[in-house]
Amino acid sequence: MFTRTESFRTFLRLYPVVSILVGIHILFWLLFQLPIPSVQIILRLLDGYNAGIANGEYWRLVTPIFLHISFGHLFFNTVSLILFAPALEKMLKKRNFIFIYLGSGLIADIATYLLEPQQYSHLGASGAIFGLFGVYLFMVYFRKGIIDQANSQVIISILVIGLVMTFFNSNINIVAHIFGFLGGFALAPFFIKKRGQFVHQTYYTSSPSTSRFSIKQVKGKHVIWIIFGLLILIGIFFRFS
């Protein structure tokens, strides 16, 4: 599911939306490297500058999703897209995938505007990408049978690592990561209503599906997630206190 074995041409043909997003990431990063003042001025009008948004420059809530400055940030987000986004593009179809991706990024940027100071500025697709993990996590817990257990464990492991690293790396937009994830999780039920709508054999198994909850279903992994969630909330509290 998350192993890419396609050739370059096959990848472009099977996952056109992901391919376009990757191309946009690389194109804008290359433009940022050009020592041309006019280009730099234009690009600076596209970052997520909160004071600019407050002055009516609302496009800054969307444009940061496509921009990166450092190569490391570009590399991490682009590789994440290539590995984890194709399966969702196939599952959700192009239009729904675009809506969830941009919707998660928009939610992340709105939260950044509301919770960070006016002089705060940010770039990057991390909020939108964390939104994809939010969709995956929704499927793991509420649409059992779409994703097998092995891939479910991969998703949870990557998500935990990503959230932990969010708090330990400097220059990370913590708000965007957290709210991008929550945005994807919240949007998922509107597009993933039942297991039967996905028939691709790579993603579909015959495991029974149930979304009812009872206290007997609470296991050790749920307790760990509760504790981890509390740690995230504590981290956010101390960040803004």
Is 126 in the active site?
A: yes
Annotated catalytic residue, options 177, 207, 214, 222: 177
Cα 6 to Cα 86, 148, 150: the distances in Å are: 11, 21, 21
110 contacts: CB under 8 Å, gap ≥ 6 = 61, 179
Cβ(47)–Cβ(28) under 8 Å? no
One-letter-per-residue 3-state SS of 4-35 = CCCCHHHHHHHCHHHHHHHHHHHHHHHHHHCC
179 contacts: CB under 8 Å, gap ≥ 6 = 107, 108, 110, 111, 112, 127
Annotated catalytic residue, options 70, 126, 200, 222: 126
DSSP H helices, the chain, are: 8-14, 16-33, 37-44, 50-54, 71-92, 94-115, 126-142, 149-168, 174-191, 220-240
Q: Which two tokens stand for residue 60?
A: 């800054």
* Active site members: 126, 177
